Chains A and B, each alone.
Chain A
Amino acid sequence: MSGHSTYEPKTGFERWLDARLPIVRLGYDSFVDYPTPRNLNYWWTFGGILSLCLASQLITGIILVMHYTPSADHAFASVEHIMRDVNYGWLIRYMHANGASMFFIAVYIHMLRGLYYGSYKAPREVLWLLGCVIYLLMMATAFMGYVLPWGQMSFHGAVVITNLFGALPVVGESITTWLWGGFAVDNPTLNRFFSLHYLLPFMIAGVVILHIWALHVVGQNNPTGVEPKSKADTVPFTPYATVKDGFAMSVFLILFAFFVFFMPNALGHADNYIPANPLVTPSHIVPEWYFLPFYAILRAVPDKLMGVLAMFGAIACLFALPWLDRSKVRSMRYRPTARIHFFIFVVACCILGVCGAKLPDDQIIPGLTTFKVMESDLNSFVWLSRVAAAYYFAFFVIVMPFLPLSEKTLPVPDSIASPALSHPAAAPVEATAAPEMKG
């Protein structure tokens, strides 16, 4: 992006190293001199926050492994050993458990920001795809990590998720047996999940490096969606972005600390403090909150295979997004209709999350029995989740590709620094579509 490097080695050692391995130069170009759009808002600080989350999870995770025993007979007790006997074990375990939730809060905000400001559009498709891969790896890692304490929710969560693969025709059963290493979720399953839970975060770290590399090739998007054109549009990463990211991180840490120290079990399930028992499923089994929307989509479909396909399809939509969206305007700041759809989409995701936490047949309005459609009362969470899931998919396959055909957009400013049209409030309402200015 920045063309040529402005790094000048000052000491003899730096010159010596720079000629052999220009690592200081790389760091300088990426995190000091790197030109950053000057109009980035706080939604852009979540990239830095996510790096912090990853680092925190890696460090606390490696420490926990020093005390944890991956065995169906000892896992539960070893986690309690960490909580009760290991010095500051309670702190490290609560940081790791709540850190996972914090990681997902941050990643969802990061993704929605990308969605709103069109950060997935050309030339940032690969950047977006790498982000989707990270998200997928995060989900796998979080799921396997939740199994490790071997409580009731761990065990039955593992049963449900691994059985998803059983929905595949012909090979389904062989695949679940292969995943379990037995005829049920048992010690072999726990051991392999532990192995992979340790491996995947390092894969995430690897893909994060690619993600940042791709970011530095194409440059950051910004709230206007207009590429920076001159020096006036940018500021150097340090100190401008560093200090802003640092402040946002410290605010995020306050939230994190609040959960760790004052409500460490609020985001978990009480049932997971009961050791795993294959003979009894907890009466209300739900995944961790960050999987709830997908879980609701799974349950919204009355057929097993179709439900599983819908759930994976919901994630596949994210991968296809750069090619689904056909709008010429990048940022939704200048797409009023798309913006309304975006907010409905966010609400639909939240509704799906709520539905995922409820029993499907529970009534939304207690006491009101309406009529049954497809064997379920219309006044039930399963129908609410069907409506929300339908919107979820419609957003990707209908709104994204077809809205731009008839959409009225606001005029897009010529450049970031151009003050005249830098904010929608300043733009005339009855404006026609302006072609995107390629930077």
Chain B
Amino acid sequence: MLRKLSVIAAVAGLLTAGVAGPALAGHGPLEAKDVHWSFEGPFGRFDQAQLQRGYKVYREVCSACHSMSLVSFRNLGDKGGPFYDEKYPNSNDNPYVKAIAKDYEVADIDNETGDAIKRPATPADRFPAPFANEAAARASNGGALPPDMSLLAKAREAGPAHIYSIVTGYVAPPAGLKVDPTSHYNPYMAGDLTSYWSGSHEHVPPGGFIAMAPPLKAGQVTFDDGTPSTLDQQAKDVSAFLMWAAEPKLEERKQTGFAVLLYLLLFAGLLYASYRKVWKNESH
């Protein structure tokens, strides 16, 4: 057990030594690209068609390595979710959701024999992780741990724009940068490349190394609604989907907020009127 733990830790160490460097003297990553999202602004809402496309990208590409352990299948059919249908207020009954869940297998225990078994997932199950544990995930990915995607869009400063920038931002490493064969240069990745750079100290390239190879390319996913499957489109859609996965209550929050603000403005106005009335004859 201890041996196993130390292996995990060992690989973690190798990785962090390369990736997580402090932003010294401004050799930070490039600022994330500016993307327009449908869910921006006080009245922003998720674009359901985009979420469906984004889900397809996640299903067919990302989910091979990235878990999404905080999201359940039923969430896909929740209000604001990619497969929400008014006919099924209880997302557990949503046939789309049921069909999606059935495609996955989850681990369970046989009630009678007590053996470990696999069974088709139900809408109540969470998305199963592609790897049994962290060590297995690292072993299959050259030592790097693909981060869980449930909160990814909120766990980065720039949010979904960061995901979009990473996925679309791969460029050939500048001459003079020593790139390890298992990693890739990405100017939007956090890190400090000073110790890998042979050129002058002032011109260290922005960004860092990422273990993930460019994951998307044009035409990789066929969109059911006929949207042209460009790299840009896929990246945008999957980033929007991940924002939904991270903040599924975003629409509800903004709608409630609008009503609350309206009420508070009215309330404040009324109180101001009473304040003026009460103090009318008092000098102060």
Q: Do chains A and B touch in the complex (CB under 8 A)?
A: yes
CB contacts under 8 Å to B, within A212-226, are none
Assembly CA distance A247 to B26 (angstroms): 46
Task: Specify the main secondary structure of chain B where it touches its partner.
Answer: helix
- Of chain B, the residue at the smallest CB distance from A94 is B253
Assembly CA distance A4 to B226 (angstroms): 82
- Of chain B, the residue at the smallest CB distance from A38 is B284
Q: Size range of the interface on B?
A: 35 or more
B214 at interface by CB-CB < 8 Å: no
Assembly CA distance A252 to B284 (angstroms): 23
Q: Tell me which of B254, B275, B279, B284 contacts A261 (CB under 8 A).
A: B254
Q: Are B155 and A77 in contact, CB atoms less than 8 angstroms apart?
A: no
CB contacts under 8 Å to A, within B1-45, are 9, 12-13, 16, 20-26, 42
CB contacts under 8 Å to A, within B255-282, are 256-258, 260-261, 264-265, 267-268, 271-272, 274-275, 278-279, 282
Q: Are A80 and B70 in contact, CB atoms less than 8 angstroms apart?
A: yes
Q: Tell me which of B26, B190, B253, B272 contacts A91 (CB under 8 A).
A: B253
Q: Are B278 and A38 in contact, CB atoms less than 8 angstroms apart?
A: no
Assembly CA distance A386 to B275 (angstroms): 46
A361-B24, A362-B25 known; A260 vs B257 contact (CB < 8 Å): yes
B249 at interface by CB-CB < 8 Å: yes
Assembly CA distance A366 to B28 (angstroms): 13
Assembly CA distance A265 to B153 (angstroms): 12
Assembly CA distance A94 to B249 (angstroms): 12
CB contacts under 8 Å to A, within B149-191, are 150-151, 154-157, 159, 190
Assembly CA distance A247 to B249 (angstroms): 31
Q: Are B257 and A359 in contact, CB atoms less than 8 angstroms apart?
A: no
Q: Are B155 and A271 in contact, CB atoms less than 8 angstroms apart?
A: yes
Minimum C-beta distance from B281 to chain A (A): 11
Contacts of B253 in A (CB 8 A): 90-91, 94, 261, 264
Assembly CA distance A260 to B252 (angstroms): 12
CB contacts under 8 Å to A, within B40-72, are 42, 70
Contacts of A83 in B (CB 8 A): 249
Q: Are A77 and B190 in contact, CB atoms less than 8 angstroms apart?
A: no
B234 at interface by CB-CB < 8 Å: no
- Of chain A, the residue at the smallest CB distance from B41 is A262
Minimum C-beta distance from B244 to chain A (A): 12
Q: Are A283 and B150 in contact, CB atoms less than 8 angstroms apart?
A: no
Contacts of B13 in A (CB 8 A): 279
B143 at interface by CB-CB < 8 Å: no
CB contacts under 8 Å to B, within A195-218, are none
Interface centre among A250, A279, A363, by most chain B C-beta atoms within 10 angstroms, is A250
Contacts of B271 in A (CB 8 A): 243, 246-247, 250
Contacts of A261 in B (CB 8 A): 253-254, 256-258, 260-261
Minimum C-beta distance from B171 to chain A (A): 22
B113 at interface by CB-CB < 8 Å: no
- Of chain B, the residue at the smallest CB distance from A254 is B264
Q: Are B264 and A253 in contact, CB atoms less than 8 angstroms apart?
A: yes
B248 at interface by CB-CB < 8 Å: yes
Q: Are A38 and B282 in contact, CB atoms less than 8 angstroms apart?
A: yes
CB contacts under 8 Å to B, within A271-301, are 271, 273-274, 279-280, 283-284
Q: Tell me which of B12, B24, B70 contacts A77 (CB under 8 A).
A: B70
Q: Tell me which of A244, A262, A271 contacts B254 (CB under 8 A).
A: A262
Q: Are B282 and A240 in contact, CB atoms less than 8 angstroms apart?
A: yes
Q: Are A361 and B42 in contact, CB atoms less than 8 angstroms apart?
A: no
Assembly CA distance A280 to B16 (angstroms): 7
A246-B271, A251-B268 known; A257 vs B23 contact (CB < 8 Å): no
A162 at interface by CB-CB < 8 Å: no
Q: Are B22 and A284 in contact, CB atoms less than 8 angstroms apart?
A: yes
Minimum C-beta distance from A69 to chain B (A): 14
Report B121-160 CB contacts with A as 1/0, cut-off 8 Å. 0000000000000000000000000010011001111010
Shortest 5 CB-CB distances between A and B: which pairs? A261-B257, A273-B155, A250-B268, A247-B271, A273-B151
5 A–B pairs (Cβ distance < 8 Å), ordered by A: A83-B249, A250-B264, A257-B261, A274-B147, A279-B13
Give me the interface of B with A, judged by CB distance under 8 Å: 9, 12-13, 16, 20-26, 42, 70, 75, 147, 150-151, 154-157, 159, 190, 246, 248-249, 252-254, 256-258, 260-261, 264-265, 267-268, 271-272, 274-275, 278-279, 282-284
